[in-house]
Structure 1
Amino acid sequence: MTTIDPAHERQLREASYPGSTTAAVRLGIHTAFTVLVGVLLGIAVGALVGQLRAMAMLGLNETSEWFDNGVPLWLFVVGLVVGIPLMFAAAVNYNSWNHRYSGNPDRIIGVTAAVLAMAGVSVALWIIGMVLWPEPETFGVRDRSEWDGAEWTVYWMKAWGPALVTAATVLMALGGATVRRNRDRRRAELEHLMATGRRVPGVVTEISRTPSPEASKTQLNWTFSFPDDEGNTRWVERQEFFTAESHPVVGATVWVLFDPADPGNLSRIHASLTDSDDPADYTTRGM
């Protein structure tokens, strides 16, 4: 029993998080934890790849032996069995505290949990590949024959394998930053258009089909019309994703935001199914 409304108390607590030291510390803890879980998964991946590498170096197609590749069998099993569920838990907590710290539930600041985990995997693979994987007993020679190109490729897997994962991690981080930057730019453009443009009612004139209730989202081709400031009717065709609960209906009213100085510019024409002044309701509906 309490004399304080728990719901109100939770609201006050959540409102105190954005930019706070508490949220920053918790976000830092979950950031480090996500990287460490990535390291654990990287150990498992490195052990498996090391086993396959050892088999290839020895010319074996199959074996029941766990070779000495720097990672014991029990750690490989633990890395997979424990690491995978921990990764989901780490991502959920990281995203939660990232949103709380930023105060924005719709975006991640910094990098995503996937990038952090990949960074951990990269670290583990570099250590395992360059330090723990043993050197072959006869370097450059097997069965009295010099290694061919395939065997040299397998041997240097210890370098190019981690390098590929590291490159993928960097590309993921850069790709995410680009997506966020473009999204912020579009948001700024919409906010500017909301302040300086025109918002008028339009009409849905055509849809390709009705969204399936079984699907989370369905891709539709749809057309709407609206009058510009000169009294001309303009038709706009779009291809977007909608849910069965919220989608355009022929004859229904939509609200169209456009630039009266350039009414034919499709990139500056946006539609909302509701009479909203929130720029987010006029963004393109993707997956």
Structure 2
Amino acid sequence: MSTVDPAAAREARLRRLVGSPKALILTLVGGLTLVLAGGAVGYAVSAIMDRVRVSTVNSVFSDTESTMAYWVTPIAAIGSIIGFLAYSHWSHRYSGGRSIHPRPVTLWFLGIAVTMWWATTYLWAPVDMVGTAIDPVFGEHEAWGTGAWFSYAMRWWAPGLATIVFVLSLVLGFLSRVRERRGRELLGRLLREGTRTTGEVTELTLPVSNDSGPSVTHWTFSFTDLRGQRRWVQRIQRLPRSRVLSIGGPVTVLYDPSRPHDTSRIFVALEGGDRAEDYLGPGLRP
């Protein structure tokens, strides 16, 4: 038995972590782990590709072999899991759920891309002769076909592809942060100038329980605007663990009275409704 509300105590602990040195340090450690794990993945992938490349561009009788180690593969897998979990957890705690840090996959592909450029440039086995598979035993040399040239070009297109994915992830993360910032600015204006009313949950495809953790949920809520028009809003959102939805349950709806039909200007609070942190809406993360 306790005289302290466990949910309130948990919320208080989470609020203390927002912007705290502890959460920042652990976020940096998680990010570094993720980059290093990505580097291990890049090395492991490069090692596998080098073996395939050597067997394709050189003769089966060639003495040239790949010298890259393969034992880093399980380390890369385990490190990636730890890095993703640690960085995602502590960056969320430090930021309070806001998108102010690079995405985990961005840091991961940074490590992959850098390591693959290094491995393909300095660690890959040399070819016996560009354009020809040299047979040192029988002297039956063979000109490269399309597959051999494709394998030879791996040293450029493989790390280049990883770099493209890294850049795309970086750009998408930036656009996501811009969208979230604009969403929070709009929410701030609506808290001052918008209209708040009580709505209700009318449809729930995936119920969320306190024990399930954050889940992507498809749900619908309705409200009546100032003109007496009832409106329904469908959302597919990642709901926080502490929020439980039920059909018929009340919600607080905040909207722009001049554009009540614009769903991009409609925010909903499952609890409370007086603070910006209470609301979910377009561009906002729980």
Normalising by the residue count of structure 1, what TM-score does the alignment of the two structures yield? 0.74
Counterpart residue number, 1:87: 80
CA distance in 2, matches of 1:221, 1:29: 37
Identity %: 22
- Kindly provide the CA deviation profile for residues 118-137 of structure 1, in whole angstroms up to 9, marking residues without a partner as x: 21121221122122212221
Between stretches 38-47 and 28-37, larger displacement belongs to: 28-37
CA distance in 2, matches of 1:284, 1:47: 45
Counterpart residue number, 2:126: 135
Counterpart residue number, 1:18: 19
1:226–1:233: 8 Å Cα contact kept in structure 2? yes
CA distance in 2, matches of 1:16, 1:282: 20
Structure 1 residues without counterparts, runs of 5 or longer: 1-7, 61-65
Counterpart residue number, 1:5: none
Counterpart residue number, 1:162: 159
1:221–1:239: 8 Å Cα contact kept in structure 2? yes
2:225–2:257: 8 Å Cα contact kept in structure 1? no
2:120–2:155: 8 Å Cα contact kept in structure 1? yes
Counterpart residue number, 2:51: 51
1:248–1:273: 8 Å Cα contact kept in structure 2? no
Counterpart residue number, 2:185: 188
Asked if 1:106 is matched to 2:97, the reply is yes
1:18/1:212 Cα in 2 relative to 1: closer, same or farther (>3 Å)?
Answer: closer
1:226–1:256: 8 Å Cα contact kept in structure 2? no
In the alignment, residue 224 of structure 2 is paired with which amino acid?
Answer: F
Matched pairs, number:
262
CA distance in 2, matches of 1:52, 1:111: 34
CA distance in 2, matches of 1:92, 1:210: 24
Q: Pick from 150, 155, 177: which aligns with 1:153?
A: 150
Counterpart residue number, 2:220: 222
SS at match of 1:166: helix
Q: Deviation of residue 162 (structure 1)? A: 0.6
Structure 2 residues without counterparts, runs of 5 or longer: 1-8, 134-139
In the alignment, residue 110 of structure 1 is paired with which amino acid?
Answer: H
Between stretches 49-58 and 150-159, larger displacement belongs to: 49-58
SS at match of 2:70: helix
Q: Deviation of residue 67 (structure 1)? A: 6.7
Asked if 1:40 is matched to 2:40, the reply is yes
1:211–1:242: 8 Å Cα contact kept in structure 2? no
CA distance in 1, matches of 2:169, 2:103: 9
Q: Deviation of residue 140 (structure 1)? A: 0.5
Normalising by the residue count of structure 2, what TM-score does the alignment of the two structures yield? 0.74
- Kindly provide the CA deviation profile for residues 36-73 of structure 1, in whole angstroms up to 9, marking residues without a partner as x: 2322222111111111222222477xxxxx973231xx
CA distance in 2, matches of 1:232, 1:215: 37
Asked if 1:116 is matched to 2:78, the reply is no
Counterpart residue number, 1:257: 254
- Kindly provide the CA deviation profile for residues 204-234 of structure 1, in whole angstroms up to 9, marking residues without a partner as x: 5x42657387987475453513131xx4223
2:106–2:166: 8 Å Cα contact kept in structure 1? yes
In the alignment, residue 115 of structure 1 is paired with which amino acid?
Answer: T
CA distance in 2, matches of 1:109, 1:158: 34
CA distance in 1, matches of 2:151, 2:16: 54
1:94/1:276 Cα in 2 relative to 1: closer, same or farther (>3 Å)?
Answer: same
1:202–1:226: 8 Å Cα contact kept in structure 2? yes
Across the aligned residues of Structure 1 and Structure 2, the Cα RMSD in angstroms comes to 3.8
Q: Pick from 231, 243, 246: which aligns with 2:244?
A: 246
